[in-house]
Every structure is written in C-alpha cells, then in structure tokens.
Amino acid sequence: MTPEEIIAKVKARAKANFRTGLNCAECVMEAVLTHIDTGLPHETLCVMTGFGGGGGLFGDTCGALVGAMAALGAVYGRREVPTDAKAAGEELYGTPGLYRLFNRLPNEFKQRFGSTQCRVLTSQWRKTWHCKEHLQFCRSLTIDAAGLAAEMAFPKDLARWGSLPFGIQHP
C-alpha cells in the first residue's frame, strides 16, 4: 500500500471513530494503531481517554494533537530505558533527533489552525459544547491530526522528519 493510501485510511478511520463516541485523542491513536504497524497492542488506546477536550475538558493542548503526538511516539518512541546518557541526549537533540520530529507536529498544527490550545480553538462553543458546529470543527481537527501523524509515521523515516529545523523554539 502506498503512503497516500495509508494516510487516507487513517483519516477515514479517525472520522469513523468520531461517530462512535471516542474522543479526539482516542480517534487519532486508534486510527494509527489500526493502520500503521507500531508494535503496540490495540489496548494501548486506553491511555488516550483522559486527553479529550484538552485534558479531561481542561482546555489545554488539543486532544487530537496529543493523540497524534502519542501515535508518533508509538512509532518512533523509545522502547527501553537508555543506558548511556550522552547517546540518549543525542537521540533526542541530534540531527536526526526525536525532538526535531515531534516539534514538527505542533508547529504544523498551529500553522493550520492558529493554536494548539483546545480552549482557544473551541472558545466560541464554551456555552454550546455539544452543538453540531463544534462537533464538526473538532472532527475536522481530528481528521487532519490523524493525517499528519500518518504522514510522519508511514513510511517510518526519522532521517527525513528528524532532520528538519526546529519550528518555534521556547526557552
């Protein structure tokens, strides 16, 4: 299957998941677990439940973005506790480096949607949280976040994604 076909399947699965009642973070993670070989069991989905609505409706980082970050972690993340601190640091900060990879996702998300914060993205629906317009908006974010994660995860290519310059750098 081509990368484009995998991305389309992940996006379609995320969209279908949204209709089942899974939250934004769960939708993205489940779609990636279903269509991309992460080596993790499907039950890993359970760790995403608390991230919907920016962390249990707290409004912090968008759950769809967190789901995408977790999905990338499932593909690229560390599987063992490092035994060499210097090598572990290079793995994170080097070129290619895991932080360069993970930095791309929130920067791309913010560029597309204007913020990474659920409370900012959904501010117009604070009093009408369950309205159709809000659900459609969040479904769209969820589908896009799943597509971004799939694009970065399949085929697995840390040399490409982990070598790009950092986006916005925070102290």
Helices 98-113 + 63-76 axis angle, to 10: 160
Segment 127-160, tens digit of pLDDT:
999 999 999 999 999 999 999 999 999 999 999 9
Q: Which two tokens stand for residue 80?
A: 């063992």
Furthest CA-CA distance within the chain: 51
Segment 49-64, tens digit of pLDDT:
999 999 999 999 999 9
List the chain domain ranges: 3-161
Q: How far apart are CA 52 and CA 95, in angstroms?
A: 32
Task: Enter the pTM of the model.
Answer: 0.94
Q: Which two tokens stand for residue 20?
A: 């089942």
